[in-house]
């Protein structure tokens, strides 16, 4: 084992998934695990699926506990990362699963999160043009939100190649683990089971500015984004259906070729064979994003669909992928590409 990792928020969904992946990582050894109110508990009482770690005791989340590791994964509620990160020296790679360092625009941060902007770190979506180079050797990484991971991966080839107008519509369905483990009335089984509902409608969701930031950077011009999240009764997974007007002269063949070319060398983002459409079940537990694209000739729109596991490629897998780049390891170390099915 070459490196040690600490995980803050180890009792939560994102922290638990980081640990599941690290247990299979050939180069990273698991060190300190921390939590909030559950500090002092055995991990086995809270994350019984992580069998080899059952007897690890959760510690309080302090910079002192997390210091001394090569990499620290922060899987904490928004707003808690900056105070810890500033006490961890540059010798430690800090990978933040939360939103605190994702946005470059302080006004957008203030508008959607309502707190002072903590700063901006390299954005952990290696597939975006130029991102991989910025992540290699980085000391700080901001892991993308789960919806922006899915929607950005679905749309970036079309926007990067100028095949669509910079005016996109994204409707993305998410499983309930996206909302975290802390109890919330709208996530009670009797509210969620057998029902699907839109929320954060009308540009209100805090992932709107993240989408705009990502897609405008790819297009090299401002992109208008209409994003609607939908909560669906499943534990894991995101299916993002994205559309945009095709530019005059854009053929279905040109679209397919752009996606094929831009995704050909990606280890985790795959264009499915023509006619096969992504399903969340094809990605469960894998660090993959499965993509399909078509042109709706009658409507003059491109339709791109991506499926991910929100906890794997959408959080913890993305975090480990970026940590690998930051630590100088092969990008794919410890990351599954095969899902659990059926
Ligand atoms: N779930 C998802 O799909 C995604 C999550 N993320 C991000 O990952 C982060 C964690 O999310 P998630 O795992 O879903 O949330 P959970 O609610 O499942 O877990 C939160 C974790 O933070 C700990 N915690 C809570 N309050 C404090 C505190 N005051 N001090 C120290 N630790 C605290 C909790 O410990 P305890 O058990 O002791 O309360 C728990 O370990 C969030 O920032 C989220 O935005 C990012 C992308 C997707
Ligand atoms: C289903 C659900 O509630 N999903 C979360 C997004 C999860 C995610 O990616 O979020 P972070 O930005 O918190 O990292 C939400 O809509 O707020």
Would you state the pLDDT for residue 313? Answer: 98
Would you state the pLDDT for residue 280? Answer: 98
Would you state the pLDDT for residue 1? Answer: 65
Among 80, 143, 145, the mutation site with the greatest number of ligand 2 atoms within 8 A of its Cβ is: 145
Q: How far apart are CA 290 and CA 153, in angstroms?
A: 9
Question: For residue 159, what is the enclosing H or E element?
Answer: helix 146-160
Q: How far apart are CA 331 and CA 214, in angstroms?
A: 21
Res. 169: pLDDT tops 90 = yes
Question: Does 146 sit in the ligand 1 pocket, CB within 6 Å?
Answer: yes
Q: With CA atoms as reference, report the closest residue to 96 among 297, 328, 302, 318.
A: 318
Summarised one tens digit per residue, pLDDT across range 223-248 is: 999 999 999 999 999 999 999 999 99
Share of the chain above pLDDT 70, in %: 100
Would you state the pLDDT for residue 328? Answer: 98
Would you state the pLDDT for residue 171? Answer: 99
For range 307-313, the mean pLDDT? 98
Q: How far apart are CA 162 and CA 169, in angstroms?
A: 16
Give the three-state DSSP class for 188.
coil
Which region among 50-54, 118-122, 184-188, 216-220 has the lowest average model confidence (pLDDT)? 184-188
Would you state the pLDDT for residue 333? Answer: 98
Question: Does 233 sit in the ligand 1 pocket, CB within 6 Å?
Answer: no
Res. 284: pLDDT tops 70 = yes
Encoding tokens for residue 94?
């800090």
For range 292-314, the mean pLDDT? 98
For range 299-309, the mean pLDDT? 98
Would you state the pLDDT for residue 179? Answer: 97
Res. 4: pLDDT tops 90 = yes
Of the residues 146, 150, 231, 308, which is catalytic?
146
CA of 50 to the centre of ligand 2 (A): 23
pLDDT band for position 262 (cuts 50, 70, 90): very high
Domains detected in the chain:
3-144+313-327 (3.40.50.720), 147-310 (3.30.360.10)
| Residue carrying structure tokens 């997390």 | 66
Q: How far apart are CA 199 and CA 334, in angstroms?
A: 35
What are the start-end ranges of the E strands in the chain?
3-8, 28-35, 59-60, 71-74, 93-96, 140-142, 167-174, 197-198, 224-231, 238-245, 269-271, 289-296, 301-308
């Amino acid at each position: 084992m070459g490196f040690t990792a600490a995980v803050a928020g180890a009792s939560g969904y994102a922290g638990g998934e980081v640990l599941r992946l690290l247990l299979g990582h050939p180069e990273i050894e698991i060190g300190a695990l921390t939590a909030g109110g559950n500090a002092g508990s055995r991990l086995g009482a809270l994350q019984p699926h992580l069998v080899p770690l059952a007897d690890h005791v959760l510690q309080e989340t302090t910079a002192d506990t997390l210091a001394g590791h090569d990499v620290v994964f922060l899987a904490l509620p928004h707003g808690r990362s900056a105070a810890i990160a500033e006490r961890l020296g540059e010798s430690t790679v800090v990978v933040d699963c939360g939103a605190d360092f994702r946005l470059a625009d302080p006004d957008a941060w203030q508008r959607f999160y309502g707190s002072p902007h903590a700063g901006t770190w390299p954005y952990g979506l290696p597939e975006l043009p130029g991102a991989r180079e910025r992540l290699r050797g980085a000391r700080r990484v901001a892991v993308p939100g789960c919806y922006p991971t899915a929607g950005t991966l679905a749309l970036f080839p079309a926007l990067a190649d100028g095949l669509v107008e910079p005016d996109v519509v994204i409707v993305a369905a998410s499983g309930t683990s996206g909302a975290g483990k802390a109890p919330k009335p709208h996530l009670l089984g009797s509210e969620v089971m057998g029902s699907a509902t839109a929320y954060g409608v009308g540009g209100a969701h805090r992932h709107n500015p993240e989408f705009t930031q990502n897609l405008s950077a790819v297009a090299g011009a401002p992109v208008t984004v209409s994003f609607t999240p939908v909560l669906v009764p499943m534990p894991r997974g995101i299916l993002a259906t994205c559309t945009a007007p095709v530019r005059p002269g854009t053929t279905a063949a040109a679209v397919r070729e752009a996606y094929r070319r831009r995704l050909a060398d990606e280890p985790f983002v795959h264009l499915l064979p023509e006619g096969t459409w992504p399903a969340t079940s094809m990605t469960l537990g894998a660090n993959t994003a499965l993509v399909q694209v078509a042109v709706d000739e009658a409507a003059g729109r491109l339709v791109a669909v991506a499926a991910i596991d929100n906890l794997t490629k959408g959080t913890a897998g993305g975090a480990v992928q970026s940590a690998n780049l930051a630590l100088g390891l092969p990008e794919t170390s410890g990351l599954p590409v095969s899902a659990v099915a059926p």
